[in-house]
Every structure is written in structure tokens, then in C-alpha cells.
Amino acid sequence: MGFNEIEVLPDDNGAPLVSQIPGYGYTDLKVSISHESEYAIAMALLVI
């Protein structure tokens, strides 16, 4: 799976929400995204 096959959109509260990924069995996927000027970081937690 390539990164271009994963879609991250804001939920109703503005938090990042990852679309369902077909072919992967998991309970939840949490994403945190942050940036400041020229630097950005993201972290994902996959709950199986």
C-alpha cells in the first residue's frame, strides 16, 4: 500500500481521521499531526 492510498480528513471536531484501509484488520487508528514554520511531524497508532 502506498501513502497516496490513505486519506486523512478532519472529523467533526477538526481532529485528523483516517479513512478505512481495505484489507487491514484493526480496531482503531489514531493520528496526530503538528507543524511549526518549516517543520512538520505526524504519528499514527494502530490498535489491533
For 5-39, write each residue's pLDDT tens digit: 888 899 999 999 988 888 888 898 889 999 999 99
What pTM was estimated for this model as a whole?
Answer: 0.64
6 Cβ partners below 8 Å, 6+ apart?
18, 19, 21
Q: Which domain holds residue 39?
A: 3-47
- How many structural domains compose the chain? 1
Tell me the H-state helices in the chain. Answer: none
Main-chain phi, psi angles of 3, to 5 degrees: -60, -25
User: Any idea what the CATH number is for the domain that residue 31 is in?
Assistant: 3.90.470.20
